[in-house]
Amino acid sequence: MTVQRVLILEDNLIIAMEAEEILRLIGVKEVEIASNLEQAVNAIHTERYDFAMLDVNLGESMSFGFARLLVERGIAFGFVSGYPDTLDFPPDMRHVPLLNKPFDEAAMWAFVDRLASVDDPSSSQP
């Protein structure tokens, strides 16, 4: 999969801009930042994305409900979090790729590669 368009759901503008910068460095053409759930929901109703990056903790809410909406719409996604693993996530979200904060370009490459292979049916294990 060639990643052309990514949605970032992140309530911290500095982290969102850092993620956007790294994504552009690794070849993503279009990056949209949503700072809250309402913006993110509106974005997926009006645009198509190759995948989404979701901050887990959005201050007053968590992004798990939005993640389930992405599953319904067939949009690949991964979580970005300061949490070290997904053990405390809801059971249906524990398998989702996780990019730990703080992240660097190498970690972002690995994260994007994992998301691309999740979305690529040819990468499925028999």
Q: Among the residues of the chain, which ranges form H helices?
A: 13-25, 37-46, 64-73, 105-119
For 72, other C-beta atoms within 10 Å of its C-beta total: 7
Structure confidence at residue 15 (pLDDT): 96
Identify the domain containing residue 33 by its residue range: 5-117
Query: Based on the structure, what is the number of domains in the chain?
Result: 1
Q: What is the Cβ-side half-sphere exposure of residue 27, based on CA atoms within 13 angstroms?
A: 7
Residue 126 lies in a domain: no
Residue 26: is its pLDDT beyond 70? yes
Which amino acid is residue 42, in one-letter code?
Answer: N
Tokens, residue 95: 């398998």
Is 35 domain-assigned?
A: yes
Q: Residue holding tokens 């690995």?
A: 110
Span 109-119, average pLDDT: 83
Asked whether residue 66 is assigned to any structural domain, the reply reads: yes
pLDDT at 78: 97
The CATH number linked to 79 is 3.40.50.2300
- Looking at residue 118, its pLDDT comes to 64
Write down the mean pLDDT value for the chain: 90
**Separation CA 38–CA 3 (nearest Å):** 24
Asked if residue 36 belongs to a domain, the reply is yes
Predicted pLDDT of residue 116 = 80
Tell me what pLDDT residue 61 has: 94
Q: Is residue 42 part of a domain?
A: yes
The whole-number pLDDT of residue 19 equals 97
3-state DSSP assignment of residue 123: helix
Q: pLDDT of 63-105, one tens digit each?
A: 999 999 999 999 999 999 998 889 999 999 999 999 999 999 9
Q: Is the peptide bond before 102 cis (omega within 30 degrees of 0)?
A: yes
Question: What is residue 120's predicted lDDT score, i.e. its pLDDT?
Answer: 44
Q: Is residue 122 part of a domain?
A: no
Average pLDDT over residues 105-109: 95
